[in-house]
Amino acid sequence: MKSIAEIRRDFPILERKIGENPLVYFDNGATSQKPQQVIDSIVNFYTTYNANIHRGVHTLSQEATNAYEEARRKLQKHINAAKSYEVIFTSGTTEGINLVATCLTPFVKKNDEILVLTTEHHSNIVPWQFLCERTGAILRPIPIDEKGMIILEDFKSILSERTKVVSCQHVSNALGNVHPVKEIITLAHSVGAVTLIDGAQSCPHFTIDVQDLDADFYVASGHKMYAPTGIGFLYGKEVWLEKLPPYKGGGDMIKTVCFDKTTYADLPYKLEAGTPNICGGIAYGVAIDYMHSLGMTNIADHEHALLRYAHKQIHNIGGITIYGTNDLDHKAGVISFNINGAHPYDIGTLLDQMGIAVRTGHHCAQPVMDFYHIPGTVRASFAVYNTLEEVDRLIEGIRKAIKMLL
């Protein structure tokens, strides 16, 4: 892997200052920064071969189509999907979940049950609520313990023949906990339920193998993986993608259209209506290349070292509550905490004045904040370009904030 200094030079925004302070960017759980290689790919597309895809015989269209479909194959390899057409381009994790929740409507009926983790992001709650409103199904939260981990025995006890969907995070965006999704999927399949895994916080950090997991659906967002916003993917097993009706109607998702009947295109295009985010998809492929040039194992090891160091240093300050499991082998690069007696927004504001970007609030995960009876947390989330020295600046900033507020 490149040295951290070399990696940081790939990310021009890291040269920025906030006031007089060099930027420390610890809000990677919300979105990652973009390497120059990805930025250059966007400029290159719009300056040399901008064209619509799948529909033109001219050179620009063919070049754009080839680059876009090559990005799909890169994603297929990244998650070890069996077929490239099992990878559906979306605008991100949210659209992927909404697509599945909408298209599963014919397969769900009144009093069926849909199970989601208590720690879920709102994007993995609200679309299922919509499905329940359409069908009369019931949404049930899967219990968690005080560390924010799934209670597997309780999960087993609420599984039944009425369970039709189990949808859960691979990694909690609010806590950083890595959930045992392979076991969750196996248990869900034992009662015939379909499974969806939200990989928004896992795909950037460690290797994903959807075939090994046996997930029916898996979703993620490009912008958390060093790619632009507005692009993501839905993986689906071929057998399930064939069953689903189209999500949207329009160009590119059809074989034939007449006023009597329309027939639909083969996968993946059946679920990709309209002109897509072509440039975003191509840049996503470049971001995947960048991650693999560093090595997913190297990325995971580096981020885990940051997590361990930050966890120890924050714990040693005293007067701070850290949320989520203390078993750091089951945690990704997120540390979520509160300073006792201080509001997280106040801490985040003071840290920003020191050039340190963290996330504060409920992190679009209000049910887990309600579980802990708190308004929100301060969340520091790490990426491959972060350093131990930046963690030291965070620790120094926390100490200064405590002196100012308490």
Whether the Cβ atoms of residue 55 and residue 252 lie closer than 8 Å to each other: yes
- Cα 393 from chain centroid (whole Å): 27
Q: Which of 132, 168, 203, 364 is catalytic?
A: 364
- In 170-236, which ranges are E strands? 194-198, 217-221, 232-236
Report, in angstroms and rounded to the nearest whole number, the Rg of the chain calculated over CA atoms.
22
200 in Cβ contact with 93 (< 8 Å) = yes
Q: What are phi and psi of 13, to 5 degrees?
A: -65, -20
Of 342, 400, 349, residue with least CA distance to 374: 342
Tokens found for residue 320: 């701070």
In 3D, which of 164, 65, 66, 58 has the Cα closest to residue 116? Answer: 164
Nearest to 284 by CA among 36, 41, 14: 41
Q: Report DSSP letters for 248-307, one per residue.
A: S-STTSEEEE-SS-EEEPPTTGGG--SS--HHHHHHHHHHHHHHHHH-HHHHHHHHHHHH
364 catalytically annotated: yes
Strands 254-257 and 334-339: unpaired
Per-residue DSSP letter, 104: T
CA 186 to chain centre: 22
Q: What secondary structure, in 3-state letters, does 123-158 show?
A: HHCHHHHHHHHHHCCEEEEECECCCCCECHHHHHHH
Q: What are the catalytic residues?
A: 364
